[in-house]
Chains A and B, each alone.
Chain A
Amino acid sequence: MTHDLPSFNRLKLTVWTSAALLMAGSASVQAQGVWKPEKPVEIVVGSAAGGGNDKSGRVLQKILSETKSAEAVVTNKVGGGGAIAYNYVSQKKDAHVIGIAQAGLLTNHITGRSPLTLSALTPLSYVGSEPVALTVRADSPYKNLKQFLDQLKKDPTSLSISVGSTLGGTNHFGIALLAKSAGVDPKKLKLLVFGGGAESVTNLLGGHIQAMSQLVNNSIPHQKAGTMRILCITSPNRLAAIPDVPTCTEEGAKVVAEGWTVIVGPKDLPAPQVAAWEKILLAATQHPEWKNYLASSGWSADYKNAKDTSAFLKEDYEETKALLTEFGLAK
């Protein structure tokens, strides 16, 4: 009995090793081919239901199910300026989990809020960008950007400006770069932080602040209703949704500061999975539902594949770091 065991163990060892090799072999065979989602896909968003990325996530979910590319589910992982969501995606094993990322991905690391770096995620595609709009109330004495900046030149603290829900975000960069272009020190500006775009809107309409620097989707309905005036938008071109609104470059301040949205996947995804998502996402961004969503939110339609997105993110990281260091927010 006892001297049977070693041979029995050797047999077991051989069987298991060959089984493992076979499985590994078949897995690598699969990796050479085309990858397709085999189970429901998770779209992870870092905001609560109804907030920022959640809306994009749900539109994407709808498109994916309509085009039968994948069955998708939106998962909300709130907290840490998106850090919790990005962490969650980073640790998953394959491309059945994707996340929607915005500037917080970079700023979290620069400000020391999260240890997660760009290398912990695989960029899949760049799907759109949204400019910042410098907006005043319709009855404001400042009819264009030049008048506004002139006032700031006279006294940088004379106007209360909201930058939305966080310092060091795209909204902040928008107004800071505009101020810099006029020779005003952005650190002297009187900037307020509210809980979100909605609070900026009510405070501006109520006359408690004089201007807001927010992503343009907050201002579009009010511009159309005539209660607010967008002085300029920080995109390279005018937006179809508001064709009468000039870009800041047209108004004399060469500032382009856009909030971008990128789809990311878990760490070190293999090439076939990345390619599969590139195809799906490219098709999604050309779907009429997506175009409608962009138009109503003031986004610019823009697509970059994984390689270009990766290069873009690296460049944006350096630029953002430089700005945040200037404002004393970098760690």
Chain B
Amino acid sequence: MEALSLVLDGFSVSLQPINLWYTFIGVLMGTVIGVLPGIGPAAGIALLIPVSYGMNPTSALIMMAGVYYGAQYGGSVTSILINTPGESSSVMTAIDGYQMAKKGRAGAALAVSAWGSFIGGTIGIIALTLMAVPLTKIALGFGPPEYFMLMALALTAVSALTGNSPAKGMLAMMIGLMIATIGTDLQSGQMRFVMGIPELQDGIGFVVVVVGLFAVGEVFIAIEEHFHSRSEIFRLQGKLMLTKEEWRRSLGPIGRGTIIGFLIGILPGAGATIATIMSYSAEKNMSKHPEQFGQGAIEGVAGPETANNAATAGAMVPLLTLGVPGSGSTAVLLGAFVMYGIQPGPLLFQSRPDLVWGLVNSMYVGNVMLLILNLPLIGLFVRLLYIPTGILLPLVLVLASVGIYAVNGNIVELYLCLLFGVLGYAFRKIDIPLAPLVLALVLGGMMEQSFRQAMTISGGNPKIFVSSGLTIGLAVISVLVLAVKFSKVISRRKNSGEVKSATI
């Protein structure tokens, strides 16, 4: 760990009034960006770069980092209230969060999101402060075989997301995998399923799929319900904030979400989205009432929301210790570093401790600000539920379209978004779960490339997948998860069999 004095010196930088001000602007912008569907923290940070030319580099980076983790707070708002995730890392929150809103517990869902985000983010930064260097060593131990095994473990999570019909879940997963293959294959340079459209050469963006399936699909469903006079306003019931019971149920998921989120966040390439998937699946597997998941279980909101903020803190580890960006947003941050003439890399801690610790310590401040901002705003946000659908739906559509177009200025992406909206509508009508599709899309590409990279390294020998401690460990955990699943299925069948025989 770095000398404690350097860490404490960082506070003298981050607590300067001008930096407090920039932290505030950053987290406010981040929250807004998180709420808006389509546009994400990467685009937001990129927008700030020209604005910040004359500024002190530390202040500018503090502001940009604020946008980054602030977006993780904002993304949950629209997920919970109108089933339209603002970020890809808010998709899991929408599954149970929206059901909670339907049951009148929107305030509680938003509150547990805010608290979970705060706890996950803060503990993540503490872990970053204390263990950045040893954690980097662990992260470096992840090569193609280890990534593949991690993705395989994450795929077992699909069983947690299939809902009532495993067959339909599998179908959704297959479609997701198929979509993941569209684009230029890295290893061979061949174009797959591009159909002569140049915009498809780099694949279909994840955000386009999520916004289309969830936001636009939801708009279509709501339109239909509106015309069948089936739409109801979700009235709030009970306490606006969390009840004691809900708190008690959330603490475990928050704790587990922090650990899972942070550990996955430090791996370059795996990010907040995968962290939320793993957290959700872990909570469902560990819950005594798994059937509640998908119907409004608060654990399904607490876990993922904590995980995505912890993952954001984790993603700063490879950025600061190695100068390696773990995701699109950290890549933009890295670009900003270079713009200010700061060379990120292994020597950053030694050469610019004031910058590093000023930045890290500003994140504590930022998280506190976000908590203070978001909790009272819950009362305001839930009013969103009372907006008549006739006004809300066009607004969502406009925001989604602008958000998608703002990122790449590409009209083809808007068409794709619309296509996925129709698909999302169809899926909802036939009762095919959307989450496995999202999961497969996120994991599929990485799994395939990692597999082939690993096989190239080993010259075709599959033993590489059990060749290191990490791969063996991940394999064991995957097998255990599957074994527990099977035993549950078997015992459930046995029990229903006993009931049958009793009634005869």
Contacts and interface: CB of A to CB of B under 8 A. Distances in A.
A168 B339 contact: no
B242 to A, nearest CB: 38
Given A167-B189, A203-B144, A80 B202 contact: yes
A76 interface: yes
Interface string A34-50: 00000000000000111
Contacts of A168: 189
A31 interface: no
Interface in B423-466: 449, 453, 456-457, 459
A19 to B, nearest CB: 35
A157 interface: yes
Interface stretch (A22-30, A193-201, A243-251, A300-308): A193-201
Interface string A77-93: 11111011001000000
Interface stretch (A52-60, A139-147, A229-237, A257-265): A52-60
B39 to A, nearest CB: 12
B188 interface: yes
Nearest to A206: B140
Interface string A189-213: 0111111001101110111110000
Contacts of A221: 323, 343-347
A266 to B, nearest CB: 17
Contact of A199 (B43, B53, B268): B268
A83 B144 contact: no
Interface string A158-180: 00100001111000000000000
B456 A192 contact: yes
Contacts of A203: 143-144
A72 to B, nearest CB: 9
Contacts of A79: 198-199, 201-202, 408, 410
- Interface on chain A toward B: helix, strand, loop, or mixed SS? mixed
A25 to B, nearest CB: 36
A76 B413 CA distance: 14
A78 B202 contact: yes
A296 interface: yes
Contacts of B318: 202
Contacts of B53: 62
Contacts of B198: 79-80, 83-84, 87, 114
Interface residues of B, number: 54
A165 B343 contact: no
A84 B331 contact: no
A60 to B, nearest CB: 11
Contact of B347 (A62, A113, A225): A225
Nearest to A295: B341
Contacts of A113: 184, 191, 201
B240 interface: no
A201 B143 CA distance: 11
A55 to B, nearest CB: 5
A48 B42 contact: yes
Given A202-B318, A296-B343, A77 B333 contact: no
Contacts of B38: none
A94 to B, nearest CB: 20
B68 to A, nearest CB: 12
Contacts of B339: 55, 58-59, 62
A51 interface: yes
A87 B198 CA distance: 10
Nearest to B328: A48
Query: A interface, how many residues as a size bin?
Result: 35 or more
A322 interface: no
A224 interface: yes
A294 to B, nearest CB: 12
B322 A61 contact: no
Contacts of A119: none
A32 to B, nearest CB: 35
Interface string B322-341: 11110010011111101101
Contacts of A59: 339
Contact of A77 (B188, B323, B409): B409
Interface stretch (B44-52, B81-89, B125-133): B44-52
Interface string A214-245: 00000011101101000000000000000000
B457 A192 contact: yes
Nearest to B346: A225
B187 interface: yes
Given A79-B198, A79-B410, A202-B139, A224 B345 contact: yes
A49 B346 contact: no
A149 to B, nearest CB: 20
Most B C-beta atoms less than 10 A away, residue of A87, A190, A198: A198
B408 A78 contact: yes
Given A192-B453, A206-B140, A206-B141, A80 B335 contact: no
A58 B143 CA distance: 33
Given A190-B456, A192-B456, A296-B341, A49 B322 contact: no
A51 to B, nearest CB: 6
A21 to B, nearest CB: 37
A9 interface: no
A193 B325 contact: no
A189 B45 CA distance: 40
Given A58-B339, A84-B410, A225-B347, A202 B140 contact: yes
Given A83-B201, A208-B143, A50 B345 contact: no
A49 B140 contact: no
Contacts of B453: 192-194
A15 interface: no
B484 interface: no
A49 B335 contact: yes
B269 interface: yes
Nearest to A48: B328
B477 interface: no
Most B C-beta atoms less than 10 A away, residue of A50, A80, A190, A221: A50
B142 interface: yes
A49 B201 contact: no
A12 B318 CA distance: 70
A289 to B, nearest CB: 9
A50 B335 contact: yes
A146 to B, nearest CB: 24
23 contacts: A48-B42, A48-B331, A48-B332, A49-B49, A49-B332, A50-B332, A55-B339, A58-B339, A62-B50, A75-B409, A76-B408, A76-B409, A78-B410, A79-B410, A80-B201, A84-B198, A166-B186, A190-B459, A193-B453, A199-B269, A201-B322, A201-B324, A220-B343
Interface of B: 42-43, 45-46, 49-50, 53, 139-145, 184, 186-189, 191, 198-199, 201-202, 268-269, 318, 322-325, 328, 331-336, 338-339, 341, 343-347, 408-410, 449, 453, 456-457, 459
Interface of A: 48-51, 54-55, 58-59, 61-62, 74-81, 83-84, 87, 111, 113-114, 157, 160, 165-168, 190-195, 198-199, 201-203, 205-209, 220-222, 224-225, 227, 292-293, 296-297, 329
Given A50-B42, A62-B339, A297-B338, 19 more contacts: A48-B331, A49-B45, A50-B332, A54-B46, A58-B49, A75-B409, A76-B46, A78-B202, A79-B410, A80-B198, A84-B199, A166-B189, A194-B186, A201-B322, A202-B140, A203-B144, A222-B345, A227-B346, A296-B343
